[in-house]
Amino acid sequence: MPPHLCQLCHTSRAQILRPKNHARLCAPCFISTFEIEIASTITTSHLFHPGERIAIGASGGKDSTVLASVLQTLNERHGWGLDLVLLSIDEGITGYRDHSLEAVKRNSAELGLPLSIVSYEELYGWSMDQVVAQVGRGGKGNCTYCGVFRRQALDRGAAGLGVRHVVTGHNADDVAETVVMNLLRGDLPRLGRGTSVVTSMPSAVGMGTGKEWEGKGRVGEVACTSVKRSKPLMWAYEKEIVLYAHHKKLDYFSTECIYSPEAFRGSARTLIKNLERIRPESIMDVVRSGIDMAKLVPNAEGGPGSGKPEAVQRDAGEDAEGGCGGSNGEDAGGEMAQMERKLQQDEQAEEDGTETEIKIPTKAVNGQRHDRDTQTSATAAALTSNVNGQDHDRHTHPPSNTTTTVPIRTKQEKKSNRKATRDTPPPKQRLGQCERCGYLSSQAVCKACMLLEGLNKARPRTGIEVGGAGG
Amino acid sequence: MSSTIPLAVEFTGGLELLFSNQRKHQISVPSSDSKGAPSNVGYLVKWLCENLIKDPRKEMFVLDHSVRPGILVLINDADWELEGEDKYELQANDEIVFVSTLHGG
């Protein structure tokens, strides 16, 4: 058959069939159209301000490689004056991240952008290889640790660079996957975060000048976190990102984490890709549906009464970005959601003044309302083992009908509304700072520090004294 | 039946792992399929599964007798959708690229 001609220039052979509108474009017209659309996302959402210092979360994969290339191109073309840096997280997974970090280093040299790498090892004293050696490989715990650690790592890495805005390479397919996963989990409150182009961490009281972040020495000791996250590629199809990389001959690395089967995300991904083959517009339609549904969810991020729809807040303690897969961890894996619920129950127990309650062990088989046992090492065991436990519903779990508890001390008793807090989700924005690491947290000790406590207690040789964050 | 078509095939985006961790392969495929029809891309995919793939996880490449959704196919650097998909009849020295979008960073 005669070759199709590009619908824009009408001279060259068409090479790309655009999924969103079936337009047929030649490679040069496609590249310029793609860049114009990303620029449009950035300007219409007011993502950046002139001269802003931006960290690009760089994994070495296709999405972040394209993001870095496009941002660099647009920054020069439009004179935005952005101060771009690459920020990579080294989870410490031999055979996985070490290879992709090489790709990031090549990109750094190619684009002339400075690169900063922060490792779990330096932030937490534990690489993921060590965590897996400790907690075992087959279990569901690995991804939980990685997700909780990752959530803070980008913020801490950014803070260490004096950067208050991190951009990530999440694309439309990733967002659609996350929407589907949230729906399948019945987790509508999280729709808003997954579908917002900007998510922001609220500033802690008395913070906000950015000065506190600097001069603290080690990245693990940064006192405050108020880092904005955005996804400039969220309206770009994965197909187009890959084709952009292909036609611009960008150097990226493709791999899968060796520890993470991610079956649930994989199924959502397969569903999305099957839909795309039949009807490519489906991906964008799922994203739009996610955004519209988020608006209908009361008291949720992005929902009615939640403030600005454009900058959905990532609530510090509850924000369960994690899992990983291909999406740099902006959303929760299944075990992350369970972990989150567990921690919320701990928090609720604390609020109810029952953190020192005594539990009849035989009644606790289904893991309902684990108490904290005032930070004994049993806490750590519960944190990991309970991941496999029941899927609690934090909004409706009944008050202690399966666990007999005897409050013997009510240190932080809230006299007025003990009953009320049982039946309602905990208030989201009681933000303080983790008493150990200073990370923004709605609990006295943030999730990463709680996980670290468990790890450190179980580490025979080095004891507690590891890492900057764990204390 | 003895004539063959020389082709350049390439696997990227993680797919190379299924093909001896080698991106580019120079191959020759029969110029007609078992029914005597000219070889097309659909036939090439079947041929690759029978002759070139080294990894037992063939389902990472082919599902339901077609290239797995999420793998892009480029025929001489153009989307295969623009060229007739699996019905495209192979020409000598065509460059066929398979790019997976399924793998993360």
Query: What is the torsional sign of CA A190, A299, A445, A206?
Result: positive
**Which pLDDT belongs to residue A249?**
95
In A212-357, DSSP assigns E strands to: 228-230, 311-313
User: How many Cβ atoms sit within 10 Å of the Cβ of residue A246?
Assistant: 20
Residues of chain A with pLDDT under 70: 1-2, 138-140, 201-225, 260-262, 299-431, 459-471
pLDDT confidence of residue A208: 36
Domains of chain A in sequence order: 28-332 (3.40.50.620), 335-430 (no CATH)
User: Would you state the pLDDT for residue A400?
Assistant: 39
Give the minimum alpha-carbon distance from B98 to chain A in angstroms, rounded to a whole number.
Answer: 11
Distant-in-sequence, close-in-space partners of A412: CB < 8 Å, separation ≥ 6: A350, A351, A353, A355
pLDDT, position A328: 39
Q: Establish if A270 touches chain B: CB-CB under 8 angstroms.
A: yes
Q: How many CB atoms lie under 10 A from the CB of residue A58? A: 32
CA angle A192, A196, A394 (to 5 degrees): 25
In one-letter notation, the amino acid at residue A125 is G
CB spacing of A62 vs B74 below 8 angstroms: no
Q: By three-state DSSP, how is residue A93 classified?
A: coil
- Average pLDDT estimate for B77-105: 93
8 Å CB contact of B70 and A257: no
The tens digit of pLDDT for each residue in A252-280 reads 998 777 776 667 888 899 999 999 999 99
Q: What single string gives the DSSP state of each residue in A437-466?
A: T--EESSSS-HHHHHHHHHHHH-TTTTT--
Say if residue A338 is exposed, middle or buried (CB neighbours under 10 Å; 0-12, 13-18, 19+).
buried
Say yes or no for a CB contact (<8 Å) between B101 and A276: no
The predicted structure's pLDDT at residue A139: 56
CA–CA dist A250, A60 (Å, integer): 11
Who's near A421: CB < 8 A, 6+ residues apart?
A: A348, A351, A352, A414
Residue with tokens 């078509």: B5
According to DSSP, the β-strands at B95-100 and B4-12 are parallel
Can you tell me the distance from the alpha carbon of A371 to that of A381, in angstroms, rounded to the nearest whole number?
A: 12
- Those residues whose C-beta lies under 8 Å from the C-beta of residue A148, and which sit 6 or more positions away, are A322, A336, A339, A447, A448, A451
Residue A337: the pLDDT is: 54
A191-239, pLDDT tens digit by residue?
888 888 888 765 433 333 333 334 333 444 444 457 899 999 999 999 9
User: Quick check: A195 and A202 in contact, CB under 8 A?
Assistant: no
- Which amino acid appears at position A233 of this protein? L
The CA-atom distances, in angstroms, between B21 and each of A369, A393, B16, B66, B76 are 49, 46, 5, 22, 22
Nearest by Cα to A116 from A152, A146, A154: A154
Interface check A137 vs B, CB under 8 A: no
CA distance B53 to chain A (A): 18
Contacts of A195 by beta carbon, 8 Å cutoff, 6+ apart: A175, A178, A179, A234, A287, A290, A291, A294, A302
Q: With beta carbons under 8 A apart, name residues in chain A contacting B69.
A: 270, 273-274, 276-277
Domains contained in chain B, CATH given: 4-100 (3.10.20.30)
**The predicted structure's pLDDT at residue A201:** 60
Interface of A with B in 9-38 (CB under 8 A): 13-17, 24, 27
Decide if the complex's ipTM is over 0.90: yes
Q: What gap in Å lies between CA B102 and CA B14, rounded to an integer?
A: 8
Q: What is the pLDDT of residues B6-51, one digit of tens each?
A: 999 999 998 998 999 999 999 999 999 889 999 999 999 999 999 9
Which residues from A are below 8 Å from B102, CB to CB?
Answer: 269, 273, 326
Put simply, whether A97 touches B (Cβ < 8 Å) is: no
> 3-class DSSP state for residue A83?
strand
pLDDT for A299: 63
Residue with tokens 């900007």: A198
